[in-house]
Amino acid sequence: MGTILKEGKWVPHQPNERQMENQKSSVKWCFNVTKKSFLHQIVTGDEKWIYFENPKCTKSWVDPGRPSTSTARPNRFGKKTMLCVWWDQEDVVYYELLKPGETMNTDRYRQQIISLNHIVIVKRPEWARKHSKIILLHDNTPSHTSKPVKDTLKDLAWEV
């Protein structure tokens, strides 16, 4: 008959009424705040550890019964640096490589937000011209949700 059997996906739990109302109000807000698309206002960012040595696992054609070439696994305790990158719907807006061994903290993150604001004004002058509000999408790590960072975002009039 042209149909196939598919199993449904497991979900963590059934949402309650309050959670469904919150989802509905969020969707309504997204469509009612601006009559046009708001996606151009969203800026998001994240951090990633990058290793200095990234060996590639090689593929090889071998005869049956012969071993393939082997590659040593990278040292997970080797030298690494943190890459902090920020992007919008067009492309990467700003990135910063921290010094080897340096990690993200509240002061560093706050300074990156200020630098990002300056870069956005230069790279996206239409935001300043239209007085568009930047919507910041970031995770809830302690350095991102600290009071100094929240105060900076409030001063910049960014929405989280």
pLDDT digits (tens, 9 = 90+) for 14-54: 778 888 888 888 877 776 665 566 777 889 999 988 877 66
Within the chain, residue ranges assigned H as helices are 17-33, 106-123, 125-130, 142-145, 147-156
> Which of 12-26, 27-41, 59-73, 136-150: highest mean pLDDT?
136-150
SS (H, E, C) 81-108: EEEEEEECCCCEEEEEECCCCCCCCHHH
pTM: 0.63
Q: What angle do CA 72, 53, 106 make, to 5 degrees?
A: 130
In order of their start, the domains of the chain are 35-54+70-156 (3.30.420.10)
Length of the chain: 160
Quick one: average pLDDT of 129-151? 86
The H or E element containing residue 24 is helix 17-33
CB 108 within 8 A of CB 143: yes
Q: Can you read off the two tokens belonging to residue 148?
A: 């100094």
More confident residue, 93 or 29: 93
Confidence of residue 105 (pLDDT cuts 50, 70, 90): very high
Amino acid at 40: H
Q: Is the pLDDT of residue 9 over 70?
A: no
Span of 9-18, 84-93, 97-106 with lowest mean pLDDT: 9-18
Quick one: average pLDDT of 54-65? 70
Distance CA 95, CA 81 (A): 13
Quick one: average pLDDT of 84-108? 89
pLDDT value at residue 49: 86
Secondary structure letter of residue 159 according to DSSP:
B
Confidence of residue 101 (pLDDT cuts 50, 70, 90): confident
